[in-house]
């Protein structure tokens, strides 16, 4: 463990009510030398799917040994387990509800425990509604201090962790039928079609019957133009240079996107 182990926080708590601050207060008491880093606290309320994408997209950029403390937890106090998980590059702490499954797709869980050892919770007893404060924050802080995962609770089968696999795009000849898996603050539409499937190819999107060829960056188009490109997350993305694609195109989470790659068939079509 390095001296200033990062604890990366993600939640849907917003920043208004002190729910995030109180978790950091707990951490400061247990692990004063850890550094807390906010990934986001504005995940749409109870949207496990948005939190999952956000965690997956930042995971490759944090240092080895980072503890990820993530709480999007509609089932708090109910049947869902609280877990701590070791992956190759770091530790995950939070509810076992699929929130971490984007990370699992990058880095399979190696070892996991159900958080059953109350010695590492905030005393006297946890509330039934805020495990982020009472269980997950202290556990993350102890992990940052070097407490071994094994003492935090009962070992569980990593394969039993809740895993939402990514909805894959459908590939039909030169057409890729994908969908929008995330929309960011700028209104950029991030699809579930990975960059790798179009690497080295010419590709376009088809939008309401119009074919729009890909670009390399936002400013490759004119101001206000629709820009299909490989986004920084590594997925095919649709943006508007200087504008908001979600608002302009009236598209939403889950809507279908068709990508066309230049292929033999297209050439044949034009050359009968």
Please identify, among the stretches 112-120, 122-130, 204-212, 257-265, the one whose residues bind its own copies according to the rule CB under 8 A: 122-130
Is 231 near its own copies (CB under 8 A)?
yes
> In sequence order, what are the beta bridge partners of 179?
256
Length of the chain: 272
Least Å from the CB of residue 71 to its own copies: 12
Cβ atoms within 10 Å of 262's Cβ, excluding its own:
14
Instruction: Please tell me whether residue 124 binds its own copies under the rule CB under 8 A.
Output: no
When binding is defined by CB under 8 A, the residue of 48, 49, 58, 208 that contacts its own copies is 58
Closest to its own copies by CB, 86 or 131: 131
Q: Does 213 bind its own copies (CB under 8 A)?
A: no
Nearest by Cα to 161 from 117, 114, 121, 129: 114
The interface with its own copies within residues 173-192 (CB under 8 A) comprises: 184-186
- Residue 262 CA to residue 247 CA, distance in Å, equals 29
- Asked whether position 165 contacts its own copies by CB under 8 A, the answer is no
246 lies in the site for its own copies, by CB under 8 A: no
DSSP string covering 201-213, please? S-EEEEETTEEEE
Residue whose entry in the numeric block shows the structure tokens 């996107």 = 257
Q: Of 47, 62, 145, 207, which lies in the binding site for its own copies, with binding defined by CB under 8 A?
A: 62
Measured in whole angstroms, how far is the alpha carbon of residue 110 from the centre of its chain? 19
Distance CA(50)–CA(40), nearest Å, equals 11
Q: Which residue, 125 or 172, is less far from its own copies as judged by CB?
A: 125
Among 1, 88, 119, 127, binds its own copies (CB under 8 A): 127
Q: Which of 36, 72, 57 is nearest to 105 (CA)?
A: 57
Q: For residues 162 and 172, what is the distance between their CA atoms, to the nearest angstrom?
A: 30
| DSSP characters over 152-205 | GSEEE-GGGS------PPEEETTEEEEEEEEE-TT--EEEEEEGGGGTTS-EEE
Does position 196 bind its own copies by CB under 8 A? Answer: no
In this structure, are residues 5 and 118 in contact, taking their beta carbons and an 8 Å threshold? no
Residue number with CB closer to its own copies (145 or 263) = 145
Per-residue binder mask for its own copies (CB under 8 A), 23-52, x = binder: -xxx-xx--xx-xxxxxxxxx-xx------
Least distance from its own copies to the Cβ atom of residue 130, Å: 3
C-alpha distances out from residue 120 to 53, 97, 138, 158, Å: 29, 21, 6, 21
3-state SS, residue 70: strand
Q: Does 122 bind its own copies (CB under 8 A)?
A: yes
* Contact pattern from residue 78 through residue 117 relative to its own copies, giving x for each residue in contact according to CB under 8 A and a dash for the rest: x---------------------------------------
CB 246, min distance to its own copies, A = 13
Spell out the residues 6+ positions from residue 77 whose beta carbon is closer than 8 angstroms to its own: 127, 128, 129, 131
Positions touching its own copies (CB under 8 A) are: 2-4, 6, 8, 10, 13-22, 24-26, 28-29, 32-33, 35-43, 45-46, 54-55, 57-58, 61-63, 66, 74-78, 122, 127-130, 133-134, 184-186, 216-220, 229-232, 239, 241-242
């Amino acid at each position: 463990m390095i001296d200033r182990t990062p604890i990366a926080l993600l939640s849907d708590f917003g920043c208004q009510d002190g729910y995030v601050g109180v978790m950091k207060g707990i951490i400061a008491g247990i692990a004063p030398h850890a550094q807390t880093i906010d990934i986001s606290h504005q995940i749409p309320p109870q949207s496990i799917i948005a939190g999952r994408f956000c965690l997956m997209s930042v995971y490759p950029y944090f240092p080895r040994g980072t503890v990820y403390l993530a709480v999007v937890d509609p089932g708090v106090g109910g049947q869902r387990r609280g877990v701590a998980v070791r992956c190759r590059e770091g530790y995950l702490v939070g509810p076992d509800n699929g929130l971490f499954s984007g990370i699992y797709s990058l880095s399979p869980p190696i070892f996991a425990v159900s958080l059953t050892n109350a010695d590492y919770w905030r005393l006297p007893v946890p509330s039934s509604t805020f495990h982020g404060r009472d269980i997950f924050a202290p556990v993350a802080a102890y992990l940052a201090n070097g407490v071994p995962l094994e003492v935090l609770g009962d070992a569980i089968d990593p394969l039993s962790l809740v895993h939402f696999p990514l909805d894959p795009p459908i590939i039909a000849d030169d057409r890729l039928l994908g969908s929008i898996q995330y929309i960011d603050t700028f209104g950029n539409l991030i699809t579930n079609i990975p960059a790798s499937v179009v690497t080295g190819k010419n590709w376009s999107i088809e939008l309401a019957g119009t074919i729009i060829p890909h670009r390399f960056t936002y400013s490759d188009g004119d101001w206000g133009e629709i820009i299909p490109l490989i986004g920084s997350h590594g997925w095919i993305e649709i943006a508007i240079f200087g504008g908001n694609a979600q608002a302009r195109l009236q598209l939403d989470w889950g809507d279908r996107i068709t990508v066309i790659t230049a292929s033999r068939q297209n050439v044949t079509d034009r050359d009968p």
